[in-house]
Amino acid sequence: MSSRMPEFIDPWRLAEQGGTIEGEIPLARMSRMDGLLENRRGNVVFSLGFSRDDKRRPRIHGRVQAGLALTCQRCLGSLELPVDAQVELAVIEVSAEANRLPEECDPILADDGRVRLLDLLQDELLLAIPQVPMHESDRCRMIEHQADTDNGLPSPQEGNRQRPHPFAVLAGYRTDTEH
């Protein structure tokens, strides 16, 4: 399947067969990601399984993985976001049906009885991108810069003079008794 990726899939047929689709698609083909990413290098790796729910609706479950090159909105540096999205979708034919789905799955609307694979994968990746992407605070240049100036310790005028730290007292006591 990975050598010849279908553009459209028929979820009803795949659900009937209990089929699976897996493979890799270059991020470069995902035009809706343009403008959100610093670059579209690398691949999206996916694995999707198909089944039917008790309403005979096709369900798609699986994983979508990719490394996305985002921009940190705090320091404007590059931010590599590893995405490992769990897919749990119910295929619907009319949008009104979305209200009747169980909570654990998201709707995906099939057009003319088929779903465009690229759209499904892009939806999952777009959902995985935070609204304001930022480095973890210990990795962000902006945060590091602040930490350098104050060392993360309370500044001297902020209490050291008034009250010694309780553990400091304890440490002093131990030293005195051991020697």
- Binding flag, residue 69, Zn ion (CB under 5 A): no
The amino acid occupying position 73 is: Q
- Give the shortest CB-152-to-Zn ion separation in angstroms: 18
Nearest CB to Zn ion, comparing residues 57 and 135: 135
Nearest CB to Zn ion, comparing residues 68 and 92: 68
- Binding flag, residue 27, Zn ion (CB under 5 A): no
- Binding flag, residue 74, Zn ion (CB under 5 A): yes
- Binding flag, residue 140, Zn ion (CB under 5 A): yes
- Binding flag, residue 75, Zn ion (CB under 5 A): yes
Cα dihedral angle (115, 106, 125, 131), rounded to 10 degrees? 140
CA–CA distance from 157 to each of 120, 145, 160, 167, 171 (Å)?
57, 21, 7, 19, 23
In degrees, rounded to 5, the angle at the alpha carbon of residue 139 between the alpha carbons of residues 76 and 43 is: 70
Give me the residues that bind Zn ion (CB under 5 A), please: 72, 74-75, 77, 135, 140
